[in-house]
Structure 1
Amino acid sequence: MTTVKRRRSPRGSGDQLRDEILDAATELLLESGQVKAVSIRSVSQRVGVTPPSIYLHFADKDALLDAVCGGYFERLDAVMQQVADEQPTTIDRLRAQGLAYVRFARQNPELYRIAMMSEGRPGSDVDLALNTAAFVHMRDSVQALMDEESFPQGDVTAAALGLWTVAHGTASLLISRPYLPFGDPEEFADRVLSAACLGGMVRGLGGLDVTPQDLVDRLKGL
């Protein structure tokens, strides 16, 4: 690969170079679909700088990939918020957030694999993004349902994690096993996420101590 010559950046432009490094690493991932295509050398060649310039911003390849995935979750949050703002009710907002999550993961499968389907390291940019962006907004939707008394009262973070698990499991299977007989992936994801949201609401009507059979009996009696 030929190194692209890059003009020396003016003083104070470190943030610009960092952004260029992240863009280059992201492009290499999306173009190749493989993590191994991203190395400090390949990124430095893409940007037109020497490898030591990369190390001024990122300690190693793992730190660089963490930052790439952190940016992924920032974009994911923007998408989830956009669809949520278009919904008329809280439950519609939560369902739309989950569906946007699955859709975005399917549109960016390699980035999703790195961010959510590989071993994580506490304190990484990925964890920070989850705790401050997309997950927080989904948790806010769950809290709003609790405030409306439409969802079981309790630990809002644990409840949101439960719904996040449904979205993640759906996205992961659609990405890693696309040949399974899901039917239309969008419709499949919608059914699964709608069932999870509505199931939580139904359980909320019955109370935390109600059993599944109790709910079945009550629904039959309606």
Structure 2
Amino acid sequence: MLAASAFARMSATVTELAGEGFFPVSDVTEVVLEFWSAAHGVASLMLAKPGLPWGDDLALAEALMRSVCLGRASMGMLGTASGPCDARAWLSGQRAQKP
């Protein structure tokens, strides 16, 4: 049952992040499903294609999830009407502010 699974833990984490302003509260289910899909996608590929040079499975999966989470949080900060050019400009501005 999903209520007793990693899905529930992921949902609780995304709900907490939404409370901190990383995602709109109204998007929690959508964000959880995106993260859930990414996690299962990489796991499925690793199982289906064991001959590919995955390297450290856990490190790759963690890097993927970090990228998906940071990307989604960035989208939340940029707003729903933003596009790739907006994201690129915002990220460039962030890089310019880095000491």
Q: TM-score, normalised by structure 1?
A: 0.40
Aligned to 1:61: none
1:133 aligns with 2:7: no
Which residue number corresponds to residue 158 of structure 1?
30
Q: Counterpart of 1:212?
A: 84
Does 1 or 2 have the higher relative contact order (CA < 8 Å, sep 6+)?
Answer: 2
Is residue 152–residue 201 contact of structure 1 (8 Å, CA) maintained in 2? Answer: no
Task: Identify which of 159, 183, 188 aligns with 2:55.
Answer: 183
Per-residue CA deviations over 1:144-177 (Å, capped at 9, x if unaligned) read: 1111001244331121001000000011111121
- What amino acid maps onto 1:167 in structure 2? A
The offset of 1:141, in angstroms, is 1.1
Q: Which has the higher helix share?
A: 2
Aligned residues: percent identity? 38
What does residue range 57-206 of structure 1 map to in structure 2 within 5 Å? Answer: 129-130=1-2, 132-134=3-5, 135-206=7-78
Q: Which one is further off, 187-196 or 159-168?
A: 187-196
Unaligned runs of at least 5 residues, structure 1: 1-128
Q: Distance in 2 between matches of 1:186 and 1:137?
A: 18
Equivalenced residues, count: 93
Unmatched tracts of structure 2, length 5 or more: 95-99
Residue in 2 that maps onto 1:22: none
* Distance across 1 between alignment mates of 2:90 and 2:73: 14
What SS is found at the alignment partner of 1:155?
Answer: helix
What letter is aligned with 1:143? T
Local SS of the residue matching 1:221: helix
Match for residue 97 of structure 2? none
Change (3 A) 1:157 1:164: same
